Amino acid sequence: MSNVTIYHNPDCGTSRNTLALIRNSGVEPQVILYLENPPSREELTTLIGAMGISVRELLRKNVEPYEQLGLAEARFSDEQLITFMLEHPILINRPIVVTPRGTRLCRPSEVVLDILPDAQQGAFSKEDGEQVIDENGQRVKP
């Protein structure tokens, strides 16, 4: 079993790029399609704590339920926000990656490079053509 896990949405370009960067390090991660298999309340709370972010920082804002539920309002507690994310997994921002070196919300996808246990094994460009890793496996600085 892999020691790298990604909470993945295959319809999201950032999530696809992050998964490709993980694979470019020679690792086949455990892929959790979180829209189909959402985390439990305990798992989600643990992930948020491990990332060191607020519940609201994990909330995806540019999706329909966010507006419909009025989640921009400050009146909701963290527990209520987590309940909304569990009821509507599309509200969970992605991708979340867990490795032995840490847990991160990988937006932008290059954030994953900070927590991957293994080095990149070759050149890598994002779907939009932006080069992230050069032919020597080194990160390209923007």
Buried/exposed 38-73: b ≥16 CB within 10 Å, e otherwise: bbeeeebeebbeebeeebeebbbeeeeebeebebee
> Residue 43 and residue 36: Cα distance in Å, rounded?
15
Instruction: Average the pLDDT over 25-54 and give the result.
Output: 97
Domains 1-34+94-142 and 40-92 share a fold: yes
CATH code for the part of the protein at 40-92: 3.40.30.10
Q: Which of 4, 7, 8, 12 is catalytic?
A: 12
Is there a cis peptide before residue 108, judged by omega within 30 degrees of 0?
yes
- Would you kindly state where each structural domain of the chain is located, as residue ranges? 1-34+94-142, 40-92
**pTM of the predicted model as reported, rounded to 2 decimal places:** 0.94
The phi, psi pair for 73, rounded to 5°, reads -70, 140
The tens digit of pLDDT for each residue in 45-79 reads 999 999 999 999 999 999 999 999 999 999 999 99
The confidence band for 1, taking pLDDT boundaries of 50, 70 and 90, is low
User: Would you give the DSSP letter of residue 4?
Assistant: -
CA angle at residue 23 from 20 to 25, to 5 degrees? 115
Of residues 110, 115, 71, 76, the one with CA closest to residue 92:
71
12 is a catalytic site residue: yes
The predicted-structure confidence for 88-140, as pLDDT tens digits, reads as follows 999 999 999 999 999 999 999 999 999 999 999 999 999 999 999 999 999 99
**The CATH number of domain 1-34+94-142 is 3.40.30.10:** yes
